[in-house]
Amino acid sequence: MNSLPAQHLRPHSISSMQDDVLIKELFLSHDPDGRRLDSEQVLRAMENIMCYATASEVPVSDEYGDAFAMNNASNIEVVGSQEPLGHTICKIAREGIYTRTMIVFDLVGNYRWDAKVVLVLAAFATSYGEFWLIMQLYPRNLLAVSVAMLKQLPCNVSMLKPRFKALSLLVKAMVEVTKCIIEFEGLPIAHLMMDKEMISTTKSHIFIAAYWVIRSSLNCSSHINDLIAMKSEQLGVSELKDKVVILLVSKPELLPLEKLFLLVHQTYDHPHNKNLEESYKIVWVPISSSETWTDVEERNFELFSCSLPWYSVRQPQLLNSAVVNLIKQEWNFKEEPIMVVLDSQGMVTNSNALDMVLIWGARGYPFSVTREIELWQEEDWTLPLMIDEIHPLLNKWVQEGRNICLYGSENKDWIIEFNAKMMEIRRLGLQVDMVFVGVKNPSEQVRNVLATINQEMHTTLLSFTEIQFFWYRLESIRKSKLRLGKVADTDHTLREVSALLNTEDSDNGWAVFGKGWPPDIVRLQGMQLMECLNLFPDWGGNVARRGLVGAIRNALGLAVSSEPCSHPNVLHYAEGSREGIVVCEKCKRLLKMFVVYE
């Protein structure tokens, strides 16, 4: 350990005596052993982390790869030390959070003053960057969701933006001071004829500056921890003023994780959500199944209220029994979650918009029953309705007008037979993309089938979780239709979605063929499906002229002509004003359009 030279004791006023004591303590911790590192490169890496962390979105592009290659912190060596740089930074990150500043100085005592500061800043930036990495991946990534829930990270940090901005300004100032320390440490002082007192005074300022940078880094870490610990139930009525409010009423355990993840995606991360500029808010109202909350319910509430990007009521355990009874009686809340929509005036416009939100996400704004009816008037039973937003590549295929085959079953033998026949047909020239969607309520058998398909047949597009999303979506389509009073006999969409949802107990599989445009699809099942595929040499030549769906319909006698049919169907202007063709509900042939004025 070095002793403190006499020239470092500066004649100063009484008010600076604390600084002199501090300088002595800092110098006592300073025991350089010759180890060196490129402080400027570490600082640049730290600045990159802070820059990317504060960006709203971090795209993955070659530009970032090139930047990483040019400024790769993993290549920085600590000359004179056997300990890797990353290990040193991790030690500082762990120690720095829980100990005082002087212990950190002891930890980095063997380094030069510039290295001490940049190592502590790098430790802070690593912790800060990990936090924002999770926040930026949430809720697109299930791993990020799980980590965020375990860490009890807030999912909506929009209210904390002013505080993070202030923290960024402080970090910027710390970086500027660090650059001055690096510049000073790089001066060849020993070879310059300079005033010794001036050098001594400047070094004292460097010591003090290093102290405050490191102390500020630790304070920033503590501040971030305090922000993370803020509960989402801290909700003021003013934040809901003049907004559409959706009350998510449920039991404290809310929803299965996969369905909850889909709901978060459709509300918080839906592409249309950016256009609404926070015009609506979701408030979670958990209600116990009994009069007294259990410990498990308490823990569930704490976990979800801290992890989800919605508001929640404060202390739901204290909700007045009259309020709970009103929710149960007036809004018919039993066991299943509901989403009650209040307009900006506080009037109920939809007693349960949950299925509407799961189907259309933010497109459903303002989520009233009237809006739900309007959306159904714009929809037909099409591939986009079935698979919207489940997988971006599948959406791309639909937009490109590619032939797509969705097929489902958990009968492994049938799946092998079906794929063998489809591979044979594709070798004959039919271009069609295969997408396995399993069955409703997929089990471990579906996981095994996914592995078999990947190994022996074709690459499966949808993961097990995305398969669950698909069936949740179909369930919501049926529930929404039934809630609006539709019946399968007269509603084609309800009839088709119900048929798919009822295939769960069948040993034979099913397939839906279609494309994005024209928006017609055909569903085949069991023996009919296999017979159709066996007849491909007979009808395959019609695909170029009629399209895949038209050729299948014609082959099975589902349509006798590609000409428009003669079945009348009167559509009101608001319903029929959408662009595109209309398919007859009875014979599935094209309807010829006439405009009638009253």
Q: To the nearest whole percent, how much of the chain has pLDDT over 90?
A: 19
pLDDT tens track for 376-399: 998 889 999 998 878 888 888 888
Residue 8 in contact with residue 203, Cβ under 8 Å? yes
Phi-psi map region of 246: left, alpha, beta (phi>0 left; psi -120 to 50 alpha): beta
Mean pLDDT of 230-251: 74
Which residue type, as a one-letter code, is found at position 317? Q
Which structure tokens are listed for 108?
Answer: 């980095």
Instruction: Quote the pLDDT of residue 155.
Output: 61
Pick 469 or 145 by higher pLDDT. 469
Which structure tokens are listed for 39?
Answer: 């402080």
- Which residue, 470, 320, 462, is CA-closest to 387? 470
Share the mean pLDDT of the chain.
77
Residue 417 in contact with residue 555, Cβ under 8 Å? no
Which residue type, as a one-letter code, is found at position 295? D
Window from 128-137, 400-409, 434-443, 485-494 with minimum mean pLDDT: 128-137
Which structure tokens are listed for 499?
Answer: 């048929």
Question: Is the bond into 518 cis (omega within 30 degrees of 0)?
Answer: yes
Question: Helix (H, G, I), strand (E, B), or coil: what is residue 525?
Answer: strand
Instruction: Quote the pLDDT of residue 31.
Output: 64
CA distance 296 to 563: 63
Dihedral (Cα; 459, 460, 464, 469), 10-degree rounding: 150
pLDDT tens track for 303-349: 888 778 888 887 888 888 888 888 898 899 988 999 999 998 889 99
Which residue type, as a one-letter code, is found at position 287? I
Q: Which domains can be identified in the chain, with CATH numbers?
A: 6-228 (no CATH), 237-377 (3.40.30.10), 393-554 (3.40.30), 559-598 (no CATH)
Mean pLDDT of 59-72: 40
Mean pLDDT of 572-582: 48
Residue 157 in contact with residue 151, Cβ under 8 Å? no
Within 10 A of 551 (CB to CB), how many other CB atoms are there?
24
Mean pLDDT of 448-468: 84
End-to-end CA distance of the chain: 99
**435 pLDDT higher than 50:** yes
Pick 101 or 243 by higher pLDDT. 243
Window from 351-360, 370-379, 453-462 with minimum mean pLDDT: 453-462
pLDDT category, 236, cuts 50, 70, 90?
A: low
Question: Helix (H, G, I), strand (E, B), or coil: what is residue 369?
Answer: helix
Instruction: Quote the pLDDT of residue 47.
Output: 79
Instruction: Quote the pLDDT of residue 498.
Output: 94
**112 pLDDT higher than 90:** no
Helix (H) or strand (E) run with residue 514 in it = strand 510-514
Residue 249 in contact with residue 337, Cβ under 8 Å? yes
- Which residue, 329, 330, 332, 354, is CA-closest to 341? 354
**88 pLDDT higher than 70:** no
Question: Helix (H, G, I), strand (E, B), or coil: what is residue 595?
Answer: coil
User: Has this prediction a pTM greater than 0.75?
Assistant: no
pLDDT tens track for 166-218: 788 888 888 898 888 888 887 776 656 666 777 778 878 888 888 888 888 88
108-112, Cβ contacts within 8 angstroms, sequence gap of 24 or more: 109/29, 109/30, 109/31, 110/31, 110/32, 110/33, 110/35, 110/81, 111/32, 111/35, 111/37, 112/32, 112/36, 112/39, 112/185
Question: Helix (H, G, I), strand (E, B), or coil: what is residue 583?
Answer: strand
CA distance 279 to 272: 12
**568 pLDDT higher than 70:** no
Place of tokens 């202007």: 573
**578 pLDDT higher than 50:** no
Within 10 A of 280 (CB to CB), how many other CB atoms are there?
21
258-263, Cβ contacts within 8 angstroms, sequence gap of 24 or more: 258/465, 258/468, 258/469, 258/472, 259/468, 259/472, 260/308, 261/139, 261/142, 261/145, 261/465, 262/358, 262/469, 262/472, 262/473, 263/354, 263/357, 263/358
Within 10 A of 18 (CB to CB), how many other CB atoms are there?
9
In 309-391, which ranges are continuous DSSP H helix? 321-330, 354-360, 369-377, 383-387
Instruction: Quote the pLDDT of residue 309.
Output: 80
Place of tokens 């762990």: 94
- Which residue, 412, 411, 392, is CA-closest to 455? 412
Which residue type, as a one-letter code, is found at position 586? K
Which structure tokens are listed for 190?
Answer: 């020993």
